[in-house]
Every structure is written in C-alpha cells, then in structure tokens.
C-alpha cells in the first residue's frame, strides 16, 4: 500500500491518480456527476444546492480561458467561503426545535465534503502560484469534515444494530444502503486526494495508517464491509465482481494508488478507462530551427512565420498555444545549436502532436519553411508534471526563462530539485508575478528535463536574475552534475 517504501518514487502512478482526479472537474461540468458521486443520484434526483455551486465553479474552470483565470479564482474563493460559513451555521435541529433525522444530517455532510473535495482537487493539483497553499489552509477543515462523516457512519450503524432496522425512522430504512454507499465513496476520495497530493509533492503520506481502516463501497467490493487493503488483495486474486462502467474508474483509481499503475499493464485497463499516461499529459514543444546563416533571411523568417503558421496550426487538432521566440541570451552560447530563434508550442497531449504531424496543414507549413532552414528541425517534447498548464505560462508571459538538463538519471533528478528551489526563489521576490512549469523529455529526448518560468517583462526577469538568492540557486542548478543550458526568450504570440 501507500507505505514507507519505493512506491513513493513511482511518479507515473501518482501522475495518473492526480490526473484522474482532475478529470472529475471536467466530467462534473459536462455531466453533473463523477465516479465519487454516482451513487448520490439514487438518494435524491434533486441537485443539492451545495453541489449546484460546485457545478458552476467546475463549468467556469473548464470554459473560461486562462486570461480570465482570476475570475475562476474569485468564484472558487467565494463559494468555498460560503460553504464554510453555511456549514458553521448548520444545525442538527429543525425550525420547530425537533432533532432532524440522522440520514438527513448525513446527506448534507456528504454533499459538503464532496464539494470541498472538488475544490481541493482544483487547487491542490494546480500549477498556479499559491493555489496549493490556499488548499492547505483548509487542511484541518478537510480532516475534520472527513472524521465527522466517519463518526456519523458509526452512529448510523450502531443505531441499526441496537434498535433493529424496522424500529428506526422510515428514512433510515428506505435509503440507508444508498446513503452509506455515497458516504463511503466520499470518504475514500477524501483520503485519496490528500494521500496523492502529499506523495506526489513531498514523498510522504500522513494518512497512510488511516487508509487501512477505510471501507470500500459495496458497489465495488460486493461486500457490506471490506477494508481497503483487503479489497486490493481480493482484486489481485480476481475475486472482486465485475463492476459497472461508471464504477470502473473509481475502482481503477483506488487500486492504482495501492498497487501502482503497472498493476494494470497486462490487463485492459489502459483501453477501458480515461487513464492519463504520458500520451495524454500536456506537452511543451521546443523547436530550435536550423536557420540559414543570413541575417536578412532570419529577419524575414521572424516577420513571416506568424502568417505561415497561424492558418495551418490554429485548426481543430492543433496546439493549444504557439509562439516564436527571439533568443536574447543563451548559456552556453551555442546550446542546442541555436540560431537566434526557437518555436515554443504547447499541446494537450503527445497523441495530438503525432496525429497533427500527419495532416495536410503541417505538410503545407513544413514546405513553407524550406527557404529558411538548411536542415530539418529537431522537435523536442517535454511532458509536464501533474496539474501543469503550459499554455497558461505561455499565454500570460512576454518572456521566458528556460533551463534544460541532460545527463545521467541521478544528475537530471538532482537538477529537478535545484529547479524547484530556483522557482521558489523567483516566487519569493516581493511583487513578482511568475508562472512556471517543467517537464520530462519524451521520444528522442527521453531522460532530459526542461523548466519554464514565464515573466511579464524583461525588466522583471533581469531584476530577479540579479537577486542574491536566485543567483545562488542558479549556481547550484548548474553544479547539479547534469549538463545545464539556460535561455532567455522574448515571445511573439501566434496562437
């Protein structure tokens, strides 16, 4: 399970888990349901007001462009505060002073925890500066609401055991099974969100021992009460009943978090779920163009490229963003055999790129470049870390600070640690508004690493590079053991 051993290093597993959770935001915006909430539809056809507000936040998150991301932030902050305030004022007694039935109370607590889980997913797995810190301010509340719901489950089960189901209020009898199903789904997702966040970002799991006591929903296990570790053992033995398509995603998530994503490598898991592996992670593409050694021709290339690229790339199946960048500084000077310009493109996934390279649009664009280049350019793909949105960095920046690291695996891993410290130093400078992401090389650049820091002006970037702490971290990065190159780019947005 999630324990103090090598599973912490299985980055692909935690990327899958985090991205599967992130996909719930889009799914909820489109369908009003998620694998966590499937069973809640059986309890009542009416959408809980709390979840109605979540629907609005998710819809805004999925439809508003990154340039309007501040509106999503404001909406989420407002609804989260309202959720907290409303819950604080909630009472276990009705308007007449009579105590409400336990199931009604539990339904409200399930809805509010589901809402908090969705908000936590958005913030914990975001790459925007400060989002994770915002989420962590609600950590104590997250823990408290989960514990409270677990206690409500115990109370309901004790009442059933003590008085017998037929002697209880009718509400207990008519919907307790579905309510427990929804409750168990919500509780397990609460722990999964926290576990995956901590393992992915800090390689620790504060909730590890709690996971051993979690009950898996009956719809997945076929049993009234099967604990998480027991469930996974039964799954490995092939003793778990076949689940519905709706439930399969939740099953895959909780098994992957326990046994690793490789547990499914010999099954139909990859084809039957929305698994977000390296083929479906966001990609930043760098194209160092081998331009002919003619300054006039280079100037023409820079001026004409937007007109050549826009009609062929700004099409269905094309990239999220595209820019041509003037290389203002390169260290070393001949890094990547640079000729003064580089293409910077973001894509939703590697499969999209592969499909696009086979289109007539790309063939037309490629032929239009022949007069400018002396050889075919090498396409460099970097798969982003969980929650990263490279298009946000690119669309909201005028300049990029880019690092690339190559070398032995341990050296490149060390460079990643140094990069994270450098980004933290950038963000620690008062008044700075920076966006950043990073990624691992794919295809022919497997084993390499690249980091991207976006800036709103060259002045802000240059001032940051003169900061003493930034200089120290940059020196550490260059001394990481990997071969490190750095670039300062001036972006011209095309898409």
Which pLDDT value is given to residue 91?
63
> What mean pLDDT is predicted for residues 78-104?
75
pLDDT of residue 265: 45
Residues 401, 383: Cα–Cα separation, whole Å: 18
Query: Does residue 360 carry a pLDDT above 80?
Result: yes
Cis check for the bond before 390: say yes or no (omega within 30 of 0): no
Q: What is the pLDDT of residue 94?
A: 59
Dist CA 424 CA 436 (whole Å): 10
Of the pLDDT bands very low, low, confident and very high (cuts 50, 70, 90), residue 92 is low
Query: What is the band of 99 on the pLDDT scale with cuts at 50, 70, 90?
Result: low
Integer Cα distance of 419 and 409 in angstroms: 15
Residues 442-481 pLDDT 10s:
887 888 999 999 999 999 999 999 999 899 999 999 998 9
Whether the pLDDT of residue 278 is over 50: the answer is: no
Contact 294, 369 (CB under 8 A): no
Residue 210: which of 236, 231, 228 has the closest Cα?
228
The CB-side HSE value for 192 (13 A sphere, CA atoms) comes to: 33
The predicted structure's pLDDT at residue 67 = 64
Task: Of 367, 366, 374, 376, give the one whose Cα is nearest residue 294.
Answer: 374
pLDDT-derived band at 223, boundaries 50, 70, 90 = confident
**pLDDT score, position 238:** 80
Rounded to whole angstroms, the Cα distance separating 240 from 197 reads 28
pLDDT over 70 (residue 251): yes
In contact, 344 and 284? CB cutoff 8 Å: yes
- How confident is the model over 426-435, as a mean pLDDT? 73
Q: How far apart are CA 187 and CA 401, in angstroms?
A: 42
What confidence tens digit (pLDDT) does each residue in 26-63 have?
888 888 888 888 544 444 457 788 999 999 999 888 88
Residue 483 pLDDT > 60: yes
Q: Which CATH architecture has domain 279-493?
A: 2-Layer Sandwich (3.30)
Count of positions (residues) in the chain: 495
Global pTM exceeds 0.75: no
Integer Cα distance of 357 and 286 in angstroms: 15
Structure tokens at 488: 């300062």
Report percent pLDDT > 90 for the chain.
34
What would the pLDDT profile of 318-359 be if each residue is shown by its tens digit? 999 999 999 999 998 888 888 899 999 999 888 889 899 889
Phi, psi of 455 (to 5 degrees): -135, 150
Per-residue model confidence (pLDDT) at position 385: 63
Instruction: Give the bridge partners for 453, in sequence order.
Output: 401, 436
- What is d(CA 62, CA 323) in angstroms, rounded to the nearest whole number? 23
pLDDT, greater one: 69 or 490: 490
- Looking at residue 372, its pLDDT comes to 93
For every residue of 76-142, DSSP letters joined together read HHHHHHHHHHHHHH--SB-TTSPBPPHHHHHHHHHHHHHHHHHHHHHHHT--STTHHHHHHTTHHHH
DSSP state of 47: P
pLDDT of residue 100: 67
**Neighbour count for residue 213 (Cβ, 10 Å):** 11
Mean pLDDT of 425-447: 80
**Mean of all residue pLDDT scores within the chain:** 83
For residue 96, pLDDT beyond 70: no
Closest by CA position to 287, among listed 381, 403, 405: 381
Letter string b/e over residues 221-255, b meaning 16 or more CB atoms within 10 A of that residue's CB: bebeebbbeebbebbeeeebeebeeebbbbbbbbb
In contact, 53 and 115? CB cutoff 8 Å: yes
pLDDT-derived band at 309, boundaries 50, 70, 90 = very high
| Confidence check: pLDDT of 171 > 60 | no
β pairing state of 321-331 and 215-216: unpaired
**Which one, of 308, 325, 420, 417, lies nearest residue 368 by Cα?**
308
Nearest to 27 by CA among 272, 246, 333, 309: 246
**Residue 161: band (very low, low, confident or very high) from pLDDT cuts 50, 70, 90:** low
Task: Return the minimum-mean-pLDDT range out of 116-130, 154-168, 354-368, 423-437.
Answer: 154-168
Query: Residue 230 to residues 216, 227, 240, 258: CA-CA distances in angstroms?
Result: 9, 5, 11, 11
- Assess whether pLDDT exceeds 70 at residue 175: no
Residues sharing a CB contact under 8 Å with residue 250, sequence separation 6 or more, in sequence order: 35, 36, 38, 185, 217, 220
What is the phi/psi pair of residue 314, to 5°?
Answer: -85, 65
Between 234 and 69, the more confident residue is 234
Residue 388: what pLDDT? 57
List pLDDT tens digits, range 11-33: 778 888 888 898 889 888 888 88
Tally helices (H) and strands (E) across the chain.
20, 10
Structural domain boundaries in the chain: 6-276, 279-493
């Amino acid at each position: 399970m999630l324990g103090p051993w090598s599973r912490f290093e299985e980055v692909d597993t935690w990327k899958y888990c985090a991205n599967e959770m992130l996909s719930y935001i889009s799914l909820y915006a489109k369908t009003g349901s998620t694998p966590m909430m499937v069973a809640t539809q059986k309890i009542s056809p009416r959408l809980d007001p709390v979840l109605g507000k979540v629907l609005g936040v998710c819809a805004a998150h999925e439809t508003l462009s990154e340039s309007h991301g501040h509106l999503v932030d404001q909406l989420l902050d407002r609804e989260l505060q309202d959720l907290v305030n409303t819950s604080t004022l909630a009472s276990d007694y009705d308007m007449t002073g009579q105590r409400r039935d336990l199931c009604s109370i539990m339904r409200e607590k399930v809805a509010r925890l589901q809402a908090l889980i969705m908000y936590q997913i958005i913030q914990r797995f975001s790459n925007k500066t400060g989002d994770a810190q915002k989420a962590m301010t609600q950590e104590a509340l997250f823990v408290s609401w989960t514990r409270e719901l677990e206690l409500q489950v115990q109370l309901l089960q004790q009442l059933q055991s003590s008085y017998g189901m037929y002697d209880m209020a009718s509400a207990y009898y008519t919907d307790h099974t579905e309510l427990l199903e929804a409750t168990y789904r919500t509780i397990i997702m609460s722990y999964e969100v926290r576990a995956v966040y901590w393992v992915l970002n800090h390689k620790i799991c504060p909730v590890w021992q709690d996971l051993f006591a979690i009950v898996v929903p009956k719809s997945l296990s076929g049993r009234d009460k099967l604990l998480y570790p027991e469930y996974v053992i039964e799954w490995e033995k092939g003793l778990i009943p076949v689940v519905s398509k709706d439930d399969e995603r939740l099953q895959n998530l909780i098994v992957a978090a326990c046994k690793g994503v490789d547990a499914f490598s010999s099954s139909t898991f990859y084809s039957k779920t929305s698994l977000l592996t390296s083929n479906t992670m966001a990609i930043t593409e760098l194209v160092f163009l081998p331009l002919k050694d003619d300054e006039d021709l280079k100037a023409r290339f820079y001026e004409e490229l937007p007109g050549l690229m826009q009609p062929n790339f700004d099409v269905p199946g094309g990239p999220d963003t595209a820019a041509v960048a003037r290389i203002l500084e390169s260290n070393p000077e001949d890094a990547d055999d640079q000729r003064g310009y580089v293409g910077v493109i973001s894509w939703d996934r590697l499969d999209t790129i592969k499909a696009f390279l086979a289109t007539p649009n790309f063939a037309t664009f490629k032929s239009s470049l022949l007069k400018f280049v002396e050889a075919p350019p090498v396409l460099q793909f970097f798969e982003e870390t969980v929650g990263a949105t490279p298009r946000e960095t690119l669309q909201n920046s005028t300049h990029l600070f880019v690092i690339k690291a190559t070398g032995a695996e341990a050296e490149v891993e060390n460079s990643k640690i140094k990069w994270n410290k450098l980004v933290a130093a950038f963000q620690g400078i008062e008044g700075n508004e920076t966006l950043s992401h990073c990624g691992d090389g794919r295809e022919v650049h497997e084993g390499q690493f690249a980091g991207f820091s976006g800036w709103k002006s060259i002045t802000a970037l240059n001032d940051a590079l003169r900061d003493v702490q930034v200089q120290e971290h940059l020196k550490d990065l260059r001394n990481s053991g990997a071969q490190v190159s750095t670039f300062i780019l001036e972006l011209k947005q095309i898409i």
